[in-house]
Amino acid sequence: MRILIKDASLVLEDRVERGDLLTDGRKIVQVGGTIDAPCDRVVDAAGCYVFPGFIDTHTHFDLEVGSTVTADDFVTGTKAALVGGTTTVLDFATQERGMTLMEAFRKWENKAKNSSCNYGFHMAMSEWNEARIAELPLMIENGVTSFKMYMVYDNMRLSDGVMYEAIKHLVREDCIIGIHCENDDILKARVKELKAEGKISPRYHAVSRPNLVEADGVGRLMDAACLAGGPAWVVHLSTKEGLAIARRARERGQEVYLETCPQYLVLEESMYDAPDGAKFVMSPPLRSVEDQEALLNALSSGDIDWIGTDHCSFTMAQKAAGKDDFSQTPNGGAGVQNRAEIVYTRAVKGGYIDVVQMGQLLSTRAAKLFGMYPRKGTLQAGSDADIVIFDPDNAHTIHAATNLHNCDNSPYEGYEAAGKTRDVILNGELVVENGALLVSGKGEYVHRDRCGRYRK
């Protein structure tokens, strides 16, 4: 199959160029200029931006959380991802205590086998001991070169000492570990306090974990990474205070990678007071307009590296578990389909970044750090034919009901998006056309190389 994309605005790594692009089989073979080659299919992209397929660095599909499981599994989650322009997701495979890393990997491999977009795994670890350390080479052999640890959640939480050891160990392998940064002891004390005062509604979820709860975690991560001599990666950064601490770490010479999420750019804490406020219960919680502004400016300055969704969806019936106690609400929201259109609307149309930066934030930098570049994350001859054709003028309103996710709510319900993913090419095949999913179940596992530490 040869697909010729005509008259596009090609979003390259350092500029936008008007021209054509040709794919052959699973690869991009020619980029730029006027191409008149024999092909099976011509796609007119006049008026549209053509990006390298977007990479979502942060999803949770088919994840058991307490006594419930996320509304989206890999079947539904990856369909939603794909129509939104995401051609690769990096999901968090999770090693529960008592499980080997290999068992967790096999379990996730099995969950993901009917995916509609490509997928790779980070490995979230709940233990760090001789047995788990001995398995790390096997993970790298299997294409898992990024890991995660949590400062929170009783079933996952590890100590700062473990975080230090893990960073020190993994840097020698050019692997990286992302940290969920929050102060668990303080947030638990605050939850207890609030509940004793009868403050049980969703808004108190945010009150229980204020900005300093995150900033403390970011600070401890920066210091641990500094002492360990390895890179620090903050997942889902949400606060101006955390951002300031990460910047200071960079100023003292540290290698720091920062991820934020669309929800921290467009949603804010007053939304917890809505009748369906429980749908915004996620950790970190929604913040203030000042935090949004700080994060948007950090996208602009290049201080934030990439944007993942932290898609972790629950139905309103599942969310109702917290109706008499916010702390019992399953944490997370649906967002995997809407990332590109929200970032385009809020950050590009809002004047913070240009489309070249958008390509970096949604694809290129993640491909580099997570060992997929230049196979993915770039429009170059020889790269994989994972391509997004994005229409900047397709204004529309986001509704849970028309999203392909398997969830009856969206934190972005009613959001007015300025543009939309029109067509998607996955592994050389046109799989989304005019916003409609044509082909499903063709996602493949992405075996990743060691990390491309571009801030080293």
Q: Give the footprint of Zn ion on this chain (CB under 5 A).
A: 310
Q: For residue 290, what are the CA distances in angstroms to 42, 226, 241, 415, 440?
A: 46, 29, 11, 20, 41
Tokens of 333: 């929201």
State the DSSP H helix or E strand holding residue 94, giving kind and residue range, or none if neither. Answer: strand 86-95
Please say which residue, 283 or 378, places its beta carbon nearer to Zn ion: 283
310 or 391: CB nearest Zn ion: 310
Angle at the Cα of 380 (from 446 to 262), degrees rounded to 5? 60
* Nearest distance from C-beta of residue 222 to Zn ion, angstroms: 20
Write down the least CB distance from residue 10 to Zn ion, Å: 32
| CA–CA dist 118, 377 (Å, integer) | 13
Taking the C-alpha atoms of residue 234 and residue 328, their distance in angstroms, rounded to an integer, is 25
**β-pairing, 436-437 with 429-433?**
antiparallel
* Closer residue to Zn ion (CB): 123 or 385: 123
Q: How far is the CB of 179 from Zn ion (least distance, A)?
A: 11
Shortest approach of Zn ion to residue 94 CB, angstroms?
10
Nearest residue to Zn ion, scored by beta-carbon proximity: 310
Q: Smaller CB distance to Zn ion: residue 135 or 310?
A: 310
Give the Cα separation of 164 and 114 in Å (integer).
Answer: 37
Q: DSSP string of 291-339? A: HHHHHHHHHHHT-S-EE---B----HHHHGGGTT-GGGSPP-B--TTTH
Nearer to Zn ion, 310 or 408 (CB): 310
User: Which of 98, 112, 118, 103 lies closest to 54 in space, CA to CA?
Assistant: 118
Nearest CA to 306 out of 171, 455, 168 is that of 455
Place of tokens 């106690």: 325
Of 51 and 92, the one with the shorter C-beta distance to Zn ion is 92
What one-letter code names the amino acid at 42?
V
Please, what is the minimum distance in Å from the beta carbon of residue 313 to Zn ion? 12
User: Shortest distance, CB of residue 130 to Zn ion, whole angstroms?
Assistant: 28
Task: Give 62 or 310: the residue with its C-beta nearer to Zn ion.
Answer: 310
Minimum CB–partner distance for residue 434 and Zn ion (Å): 32
